[in-house]
Amino acid sequence: MIEESEKLKSSTENRALVLADRLVPWCLGATVVTYALTRNATRAISCLMVDFSCALKLSMPLAVLSAMLECGASHITVKGGKYLETLSKADTIVFDKTGTLTRGVFEVSGIHHNTIPEEKLIELAALAECASSHPISKSLQKAYGREIERDRVTGIQEISGSGVIARVDGAEVAAGNGKLMKRMGVDYMDCHSSGTIIHIAIDGNYAGHVVISDVEKPTSRAAIAELKKIGVKKTVMLTGDIGRVAEYMAKKLGVDQYRSDLLPADKVAEVEKLLAETGRKGKLAFVGDGINDAPVLSRADIGIAMGAMGSDAAIEAADIVLMDDDPMKISKAIKISRKCIGIVYQNIAFALGVKALCLILGALGIANMWAAIFADVGVMVLAVLNAIRALYVHSL
């Protein structure tokens, strides 16, 4: 899925460098024409001195390098300069929930409708989930509180987006969501508590469910509010949680929309729909941390991964990595990228304007050699000084 998604992502062309390459022949042509018409070597050399390439060739790389260094100082790793331009246009931000907007630290907060003692139910669930590294599995093992005896568990089957089936002490134990229970034909009791519900069946008989609650990150709500403040039009949360849990968290965080009960492939499909809604001018950024987010990170216009607790697959697939897992850094990265691209366009406009003026005045004999030198070297120096302003975005 990651490989297929990568094929669909378009690269951003470095327009400043392409423009510079195309203008140089015109500048040389103007030099030849000026000499042919005037037979004045000074005017011709003045036109040649103006050139168009230096300031334009430097404006993009230096501004981008400065912006990337500023991002690095804020613990934001940008894998390439081309991603800054895409990020500057981001108007739709899509989030994974667990580990991205929430801490991914789950705790057992309730046990309901159990037909066996609570301690036994937790023990069977923890043993069945012992091979999984998912935060929910870890929370069950933590609630069990004892060393996992792996020799008691055989035949582990992990069913993506549903749960786990394993044999524990010879009995078939299924631990997962309602999809898993339906798949096994087990009648289960729904739960109205807020949190992730893990239903447990033993040998095809319902044994109860465990409620596991996640905690939002301290900066998540402020991060969503800040994104809206800087002009992001839409924020969306994608999660494999059931609708009730997703709705509760979306309202709590202030997210505009949410999609629930999603498998990894469903997340890609939802992002495809959102990409179609974004339009030609806008860009979509996806923020995630898990291995199941990797295909979506590679398919989005810009993929942002959590670097501290994120999976290797997510970090590899992403274009930008937040090294401290702080959602507030998303708005910071967008501000830096917008400032960077603004500086690039300022340099392009300034360089073209001054050089074109000096070229015309030099050909007419109005501007002398010194004006031509300023148009070349002076404009280049000013473009460099302007570009390094991207290093100072601390106040944003």
What is the mean pLDDT of the segment spanning 105-119?
Answer: 88
Task: Name the strands in the sheet holding 90-96, side by side, starting at the edge strand that comes first in the sequence.
Answer: 76-78, 320-322, 302-306, 283-288, 90-96, 234-238, 257-259
Phi-psi region at 175: left, alpha or beta (left = phi > 0; alpha = psi -120 to 50): beta
Per residue in 13-31, pLDDT tens?
A: 456 667 767 777 877 887 7
Task: Give me the pLDDT at residue 12, please.
Answer: 37
What are the φ/ψ torsions at residue 384 (nearest 5 degrees)? -65, -45
Task: Give me the pLDDT at residue 1, please.
Answer: 56
- The DSSP call for residue 376 is I
Distance of alpha carbon 108 from alpha carbon 210, whole angstroms = 7
Annotated catalytic residue within 51, 96, 293, 319:
96
Per residue in 299-349, pLDDT tens?
A: 999 999 998 877 888 888 899 999 999 999 999 999 999 998 888 888 888
Residue 304: which of 6, 85, 95, 65 has the closest Cα?
A: 95
Q: Between these two residues, 220 and 161, which has the higher pLDDT value?
A: 220
Local confidence band at 201 (pLDDT 50, 70, 90 cut-offs):
very high
Cβ contact 203:171 at 8 Å: yes
Task: Look up residue 92 and give its two tokens.
Answer: 């739709």
Predicted confidence (pLDDT) at residue 129 exceeds the cutoff of 50: yes
Cβ contact 386:347 at 8 Å: yes
What is the mean pLDDT of the segment spanning 72-76?
Answer: 91
Q: Tokens 């607790």: give the residue.
A: 309
Range with the lowest mean pLDDT among 48-57, 276-285, 314-323?
A: 48-57
SS3 track for 169-227: CCEEEEEECHHHHHHHCCCCCCCCCCCEEEEEEECCEEEEEEEEECCECCCHHHHHHHH
169 catalytic? Reply is no
Distance of alpha carbon 95 from alpha carbon 306, whole angstroms = 11
Burial 18-50 (b: 16+ CB within 10 A, else e): ebbeebeeebeebbeebbeeeeeeebbbbbbbb
pTM above 0.85, yes or no: no
Predicted confidence (pLDDT) at residue 156 exceeds the cutoff of 90: yes
Beta-carbon count within 10 A of 235 CB: 23
Task: Give me the pLDDT at residue 29, please.
Answer: 83
- Kindly report the average pLDDT of the chain as a whole number: 85
Distance of alpha carbon 254 from alpha carbon 252, whole angstroms = 6
